[in-house]
Amino acid sequence: MTNKQKIFRTQVGIVGGGPAGLMLSHLLAKSGIDSIVLEQRSYQEIYETHRAGILEPGSVRMLIDTGVADRVLTDGVRHEGVSFRFDGENHRLDFVDLVGQAVWVYPQTEVWKDLADVRAREGGDIRFLTRVTSIADVTTTPSIHVRDHEGRSGQVRCEIVVGADGSKGLCKKIVPKEHRTDYFHRYPFAWFAIMVESLPSANELIYTHSDHGFALISQRTESLQRLYFQCDRDEDPAIWSDDRIWTELRRRMAGTDGFELQGGPIVEKNVLGFNSYVREPMRYGRMFLAGDGAHVVPPTGAKGLNLALADVKVLHRALESFFQSGSEDLLNEYSDRALERVWRAQNFSYWMTVILHRYPDMDAFQRRRQRADLHARFDSRAGRTLLAESYTGWPAHELVGV
C-alpha cells in the first residue's frame, strides 16, 4: 500500500485467518474462485496460541481429501472411545463398536498450520497483520476497509464477504439489530486448565462427574498432558499451588476402581470461561458468517472446530454454485443448512456441560437426577449409541447441509 489508499479487487473477501477462513480460501482456490484473507494477528501469534483439538472423522476426511495434509494421521492420535467417570468408575463408550467411527486428537494449532502452509505453497493471498476497520455496502457491492501494521490504509472490493473473524469479530456487529437474533447462555463456572509434563494418565479422554465438580483427563503427547477441573469464573490461577491442584484433581477422580493420576511438573495453568451462543441468520445481504463468528459452544462436547469446518463445507458449495452458474439458490439456503448442524451440536454440548458439572445452587435431588441420566445413557446400547454418534459427528444422510 502507498500513502494513497489502494484498492484491491477479489471475488470473496474473507475476514479472519483462522481455520475457517483458511479452509474456505483453500476450497475456493480449488474451484478457481479468487479470495483475499484478512487477519489482524501475525502467523507466529496464531500458531503460538495453543488450543486443543478433537477432530470428528468428517473433519479428518476433509483435511485429507482436499489435499491440506495427512499429518493428522501421522502426528495425531486415533481415539476409538472415551470414558465417562461417575460413581467412582469409568464407563467407556466404544465408538468403533457402536457407530464404526473414531476421532483424532490433533491440536487446532496444527490444523491451522497445515492450512496456512498449503495456502502459502499455492500462492494464496493471506494478509497477516491487517486490521479490518470497517465494512460497507454489504447488501449491494461490499467493500472492506483495512489498515496494515505500518498504518497504511486500503480497501478490498469484492462480491461476497465472509465473516470468519471469531466471537469478538467485527462482521457480526455490523448487522442491524432488526435483522438478527442472538441466542446466548452463560455458564456459572469455568475450567481450571493445566499443562503437565508426565506420562498419560489414560489412553483416552475421561469426562468425570463427581460431587466435587467436573474434571477432564486429556492427552497431548507421550510426555505432555492437558487436565481440567471445574472452578469459579473469577478464580485466580496464581494463588493455586501445584500441591493444591493435584489434591483437587485426585479428589474428583477418586473411586473404587484403582484409577491413579500421573503426576508431574505443571508448566502452564489458566482459567477458561465459556458460553453458548448462536447468531441467526448466518447471512446478511452479501455477508456470510462462519465458525465462531456465528456460534460458540462450550468445550465439553469438542464441537467448535468441527462446526467451523462444517460451515465452510456448506458455504463453499453455495459460493461455487453462485460463481459458476450465477444461481443464488444455495446461498439462500446456507444459513438454514448450517444452523441445522449448529443447533444439534449446541444441544449435545449443552447436555454434556449440564450433566457433568455441579451448579452452585444444585441440591441433592438435582445431583441424583444427573446420575440417573448418566445411568440411563450407559445402561442401554441405544443410549450409548446416541452418545457415540453425537460425539463423533452425525451421519451425513441425517443432515441436509453436510
For residue 25, what are the contacts with CB-CB under 8 A and spacing of at least 6? 14, 35, 37, 119, 124, 126
- Using CB atoms within 10 Å of the CB of residue 150, give its burial: 0 to 12 exposed, 13 to 18 middle, 19+ buried: exposed
Collapse the DSSP code of 122 into the 3-class scheme (helix H, G, I; strand E, B; otherwise coil) and give the result.
coil
Question: Is-catalytic flag, 357?
Answer: no
Q: What is the pairing mode between strands 143-148 and 130-136?
A: antiparallel
Find the helix or strand (DSSP H, E) in which 202 lies.
none
From the candidates 209, 295, 303, 316, which is the catalytic residue? Answer: 303
Question: Is-catalytic flag, 145?
Answer: no
Find the helix or strand (DSSP H, E) in which 385 lies.
helix 381-392
From the candidates 19, 298, 299, 334, which is the catalytic residue? Answer: 299
Proportion of the chain in helix, strand, coil states, percent, rounded to 5: 40, 30, 35
Q: What cell numbers appear for 291 in the block?
A: 465458525
From the candidates 26, 79, 209, 357, which is the catalytic residue? Answer: 79
From the candidates 106, 187, 207, 228, which is the catalytic residue? Answer: 207
Question: Is-catalytic flag, 79?
Answer: yes
In angstroms, rounded to a whole number, what is the distance separating the alpha carbons of residues 69 and 114? 6
List active site positions.
Answer: 79, 207, 299, 303, 391
